[in-house]
Structure 1
């Protein structure tokens, strides 16, 4: 990671960088930060790096040991954005144990352990940690018990982390987008019913992350709901 020791620009690490929201967050943050783009899809990750100049880490958020090794090689970390997530529409009746394990590992345990590995750097920088949540993190979603539970868990993680890290001036925010035009949303809606113009643009989520990162040093923004201009479902 010698490229991250070469100048004084702040460093941001963004998970889920090969997905819709994460990709746009990387694009925006590279204007002012040295960005580490983390994702599973090698082709998409390479495209993001080619466009933005970010550093690529091809990792799954559940690979805790690999994350710990990579983070240990950094000498600073100013922004940590947890944008990686999985989401399947599964009820209690339809979800087996592996579905619960997958969702909680990716959407809650992974972010928790990545943050844990990065805590010394985050504390040293009085950094900003951003969790990309969901409207499902505060309200029930019929037929989607597993995803809803995982996003409730993520919200709880962020809320406790904010309290625990207050003495170190680490800022912790949950940004909860409503329906956003991403592959995850497309997978859950029949193609003939999908209307991209009805949904939030991933770029708008990235701009909200920017708003949080650029907040004055004397404040932290704790919970931000990002809603479609015309409501589709009140999640």
Structure 2
């Protein structure tokens, strides 16, 4: 299946991935590298630099909690074919165990940061008639015990995706809701649950990234609104 080049003829489409240094972020980069020019966004780190060197792609310094960082990172982009919101934080805890600070931090990155970045990149996305993909969660459909602030932020992110699709009909907008997959976040959650971590119980990041890539490559006469993935 070929990538969507509706606006650019033979020009290689561009994809910006937030949280690119993480397990799913790097898997997304690998999945799209054959067809897209990548912008690997995230806070500076050795892992991000190593991924960029391996793929021959530029890093894109970005802090979703810093409005100035978002402004500086986006002002040079005049068109963008794909924006993948992959960065996120999770503070495991039931409602009574949670704190207002954790709720603020969850919403600052998972919702407000994603909204701010999308708004900053709207002109570039409109120019390309591009795609916005939100890596959401199963917790954005059904709240689970011990995931209070995270679930609430993901419900809000899902709502934003629906509003963006309704208000920007030239864009294609997809919410991806994977169940539990092997990641550092998953390890932290299993530790909170006082369980033993077995990666074989979960989907691989490559599986999730492959499905996201299929959505990116959907032919231009259609769009995928929502994807729900669960481990077998």
Whether TM exceeds 0.5 here: the answer is yes
Per-residue deviation, 1:41: 5.2
Task: Tell me, yes or no, if the aligned pair for 1:18 and 1:41 is still in contact at 8 Å.
Answer: no
Aligned residue pair count: 221
Which sits farther off after the overlay, 58-67 or 95-104?
58-67
* C-alpha distance in 1 between matches for 2:67 and 2:11: 28
* C-alpha distance in 1 between matches for 2:99 and 2:73: 33
| Other-structure match for 1:188 | 189
Task: Tell me, yes or no, if the aligned pair for 2:78 and 2:123 is still in contact at 8 Å.
Answer: no
Per-residue deviation, 1:51: 1.1
| Other-structure match for 2:99 | 96
70 and 40 in structure 1: CA distance in 2 versus 1, 3 angstrom threshold: closer
| Other-structure match for 1:173 | 174
Give the structure-2-normalised TM-score.
0.91
Pairing 1:128–2:136 present = no
Deviations 1:188-219 (A, max 9, x none): 21486111111111011111111111001011
CA RMSD, 1 decimal: 1.4
Deviations 1:112-147 (A, max 9, x none): 110000001111111010000000001011122101
Extract structure 1 runs of 4+ deviating beyond 4 A: none
Deviations 1:68-125 (A, max 9, x none): 2221101210000000001111222122221111000110111111000000111111
Pairing 1:65–2:68 present = yes
Task: Tell me, yes or no, if the aligned pair for 1:135 and 1:225 is still in contact at 8 Å.
Answer: yes
Per-residue deviation, 1:8: 2.7
Task: Tell me, yes or no, if the aligned pair for 2:24 and 2:206 is still in contact at 8 Å.
Answer: yes
Give the structure-1-normalised TM-score.
0.90
Give runs of aligned pairs for residues 78-97 of structure 1, distance below 5 A: 78-97=81-100
